[in-house]
Amino acid sequence: MSFVKTKDGVDIFFKDWGPKNATPIFFHHGWPLSSDDWDTQMLFFLEKGFRVIANDRRGHGRSAQVSDGHDMDHYAADASAVVEHLNLQNVIHIGHSTGGGQVARYIAKYGQPQGRVAKAILVSSVPPLMVKTEKNPTGTPIEVFDQYRAALAANRAQFYIDVASGPFYGFNRPGATVSQGVIENWWRQGMMGSAKAHYEGIKAFSETDQTEDLKAITVPTLVLQGDDDQVVPYEDASLLQGKLLRNGTLKIYKGYPHGMLTTHADVINADILEFIES
């Protein structure tokens, strides 16, 4: 397995598939998952001739279960450690959910200043801010995230089954086609990681204001989200991203859930490919 050690001594696992001289696509996963959540996309784009890279966030998947650094600044720095280790140039960064926040912080703080970024894709992503505040009155009340923390601390295994079999993929909607394999794969990825990292990650994805990160992004950016996203409401995410990004393109999918990368991979993959090649 491949690892890179960060400046603060954390071992970060990463995958690097495909020709080293091909256009690189870097995938950033959501909470509380791992790079495995991108397997469908990585195989698809590998077949199209791209070099595909993804890392496990610290405390997630196969990366070290360290005590500290479970915040957007460290997430972005860890991604940058992989990019720098591989000396990637003209990279296309794709982030899902919390991974979208990681992409925004990485590009603003590292990718653009270093001249390493070509394009970005934000899928069902958390920026600019999820939690309800005076400045963000339509956000999700803090009590919802407190419930997440309580459920995780009480019975993480059951909580992860409930999330995957319910709102994440829209499997709780009438007439939904439920995949037990998808549910168990989500649970498997989640349980590989650290309970502490996941607990503290809730604050990272819900309370980090990334307005300035989005404003700083100048590369072409595609924003994708379903209008039936029960985890990250599109009115508080994608619509605002579209307003804050200088060079953004917004697409909303009718009826698609938060985990649409899995449930509607054929549509999403094709749209991302079209954007990359445009």
Cα torsion 56, 33, 274, 226 to 10°: value is -150
- Among candidate residues 97, 125, 194, 238, the one labeled active-site is 97
- Among candidate residues 60, 74, 93, 258, the one labeled active-site is 258
AA identity, residue 206: S
- Among candidate residues 71, 78, 229, 236, the one labeled active-site is 229
What are φ and ψ of residue 43, in 5° steps?
-70, -40
Q: Indicate if 229 belongs to the active site.
A: yes
**Dist. CA 52–CA 236, nearest whole Å:** 30
Q: Indicate if 278 belongs to the active site.
A: no
In the sheet with 11-17, reading across from the earlier edge strand, the strands are 2-5, 11-17, 51-55, 24-28, 91-96, 117-123, 221-226, 248-253
Q: Indicate if 97 belongs to the active site.
A: yes
**Dist. CA 228–CA 255, nearest whole Å:** 5
Which active-site residues does the annotation give?
A: 97, 229, 258
